[in-house]
């Protein structure tokens, strides 16, 4: 039996202003699997992602990462295992230089100086941004910022990579490069996006969220061809399928 790396049971969350963002969500992710989280705007995709590493605390239900229950006592342990890349790279990159940003996670995890340097070098090399350590974050181009954002979590050597809209605002060349980069990674990936073509290329399984409910889940090849289901939930067929 393949090991479950993420288990979500009866997860519900209501924002302090009363907006009901997630209702009784249930799904599992297997080790090494790539899961696409799709749905219209306001479906609860980003809210769901923020529960995986305990940034948001659920009102009801359970979240388990690598068998560890996500709660305040083991939050540090969980964050070692889950690397979250936020949609806006200006949110992800908050330190003055690229090196400090990529080293932020490893230093907090207690890596030694040598390990920090190695992990930063390794992560930057994986995203093809070696020799950018001394560059100032706000002087990077958008595509570069996206790549460095990914490096900031790769340097922590996580078990699960959680990506919120990884391809948003990227031009076609940078989008293609990002897909290539993610394809090469063997990590478990959870990708929330509107880019269904990206899901088709990267994810073996998909869940559909709508108004905070888990509307459907299944193999991406089958689910992303279901025009009626997609249109019912404010989505449409991926371009690559439309054109066939």
Partner 1 sequence: MRHSHIDQFSNNGSLLSQIDPRIKIIAFVFFVVFIALTPADRLFSLCLYLLPILVFTIIGRIPLKYIIIRAASVIPFAILIGFFNLFSKPAGEGVLFLWSCLSKAVLSVIAMFILISSTKFPDLLKALEYLKIPGIITMVISFMYRYIFVGEDELLKMMRAKESRSVNNSLRSNIAVLPNIIGTLFIRSYERAEAVYASMCSRGFNEKIKTLDTFKVSAKDIFFLFLTIAFLVLTAFIRR
Do residues 49 and 190 make contact, with C-beta atoms less than 8 angstroms apart? Answer: yes
In the complex, least distance from residue 41 CB atom to partner 1, rounded to whole angstroms: 16
Residues 114-173 that bind partner 1 (CB under 8 A): 116-117, 134, 136-139, 152-153, 156
Query: Given its phi and psi angles, is residue 19 left (phi above 0), alpha (psi -120 to 50 degrees) or beta?
Result: beta
Decide if residue 70 touches partner 1 (CB under 8 A). no
Closer residue to partner 1 in complex, CB, 124/214:
124
Cβ-contact 99, 134 below 8 angstroms:
yes
Six token digits for residue 55: 């940034």
DSSP 171-203: -HHHHHHHHHHHHH--SEEEEE-S-HHHHHHH-
169: Cβ contacts below 8 Å, ≥ 6 apart? 142
- Of the two residues 84 and 223, which places its CB atom closer to partner 1 in the complex? 84
Minimum CB separation of residue 12 from partner 1 in Å reads 20
Nearest-approach distance from CB 68 to partner 1, in angstroms: 15
What CA–CA distance (Å, rounded) separates 138 from 187? 29
The structure tokens 């996500």 sit at 70
Q: Which stretch binds partner 1 (CB under 8 A): 29-37, 50-58, 185-193, 195-203?
A: 50-58
Q: Are the CB atoms for 35 and 207 separated by under 8 Å?
A: yes
Total site size for partner 1, rule CB under 8 A: 37
- Closest to partner 1 by CB, 150 vs 196, is 150
Report the distance separating Cα 26 and Cα 133, nearest Å.
41
Closer residue to partner 1 (CB): 34 or 152: 152
In the complex, the smallest distance separating the C-beta of residue 103 from partner 1, rounded to whole angstroms, is 6
Instruction: Report the alpha-carbon distance of residue 62 to residue 132 in Å, rounded.
Output: 40
Closest approach, Cβ 162 to partner 1, in A, equals 9
Residues 73-112 within binding reach of partner 1 (CB under 8 A):
76, 79-80, 82-84, 86, 88, 90-97, 100, 103-105, 107-109
CB of 116 to partner 1, least distance (A): 6
- List interacting residues with partner 1 (CB under 8 A): 50, 53, 55, 76, 79-80, 82-84, 86, 88, 90-97, 100, 103-105, 107-109, 113, 116-117, 134, 136-139, 152-153, 156
């Amino acid at each position: 039996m393949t090991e479950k790396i993420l288990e979500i049971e009866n997860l519900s969350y209501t924002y302090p202003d009363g907006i009901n963002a997630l209702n009784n969500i249930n799904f599992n992710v297997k080790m090494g699997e790539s899961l696409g989280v799709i749905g219209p705007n306001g479906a609860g995709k980003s809210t769901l992602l923020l529960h995986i590493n305990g940034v948001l605390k659920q009102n009801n239900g359970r979240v388990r990462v690598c068998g560890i229950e996500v709660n305040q006592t083991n939050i540090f342990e969980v964050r070692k295992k889950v690397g979250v890349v936020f949609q806006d790279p200006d949110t992800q990159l908050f330190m003055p230089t690229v090196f400090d940003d990529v080293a932020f996670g490893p230093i907090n995890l207690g890596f030694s100086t040598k390990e920090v340097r190695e992990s930063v070098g390794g992560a930057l090399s994986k995203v093809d941004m070696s020799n950018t350590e001394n560059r100032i974050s706000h002087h990077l181009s958008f595509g570069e910022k996206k790549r460095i954002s990914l490096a900031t979590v790769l340097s922590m050597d996580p078990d699960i990579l959680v990506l919120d809209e990884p391809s948003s605002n990227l031009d076609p060349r940078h989008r293609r490069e990002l897909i290539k980069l993610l394809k090469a990674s063997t990590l478990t990936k959870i990708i929330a996006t509107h880019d269904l073509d990206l899901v088709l290329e990267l994810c073996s399984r998909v869940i559909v969220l709508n108004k905070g409910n888990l509307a459907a889940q299944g193999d991406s090849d089958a689910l992303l061809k279901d025009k009626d289901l997609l249109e019912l939930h404010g989505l449409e067929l991926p371009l690559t399928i439309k054109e066939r």
